[in-house]
Amino acid sequence: DPVAHFHLTNGARVERLNFLGDLSKNGFRQSHGMMVNYLYKLGDIEKNHERYTDGHIPASGSVRELI
């Protein structure tokens, strides 16, 4: 996903998953209505960037509990 790649490459983390966050036809076609919020925490940007480039997706505790 190019949007996720953009945010994660730039040091964000996946903060929240929103079920039925995009109810448009396109939203259902692309992601079954799911929407993601990203958080840029200034002190974690470099660490998150490194983790992502090493193959790990930085995510909040609430998101990690879901997977």
**Residue 12 resides in a domain:** yes
* Residue 20 identity: L
- Joined together, the tokens standing for residue 34 give 């799911």
Q: Which domain holds residue 13?
A: 2-52
Task: Classify residue 62: in a domain, yes or no.
Answer: no
Q: For 10-63, what is each residue's pLDDT tens digit?
A: 999 999 999 988 889 998 888 898 999 999 999 999 999 999 999 999 999 999
pTM reported for the whole predicted model = 0.87
- Classify residue 7: in a domain, yes or no: yes
- The reply to whether 67 falls in a domain is no
E strands, 12-55, are 13-18, 35-39
pLDDT for the residue numbered 33? 87
Closest by Cα among 7, 31, 30, 8 to 19: 31
The more confident residue out of 33 and 6 is: 6
Instruction: Please tell me the distance from the alpha carbon of residue 64 to that of residue 61, in angstroms, as a whole number.
Output: 5
- Would residue 65 count as lying in a domain? no
Whether residue 13 is contained in a domain is answered as yes
Q: Is residue 29 part of a domain?
A: yes
67 vs 61: CA distance, rounded Å = 10
* Domain count for the chain: 1
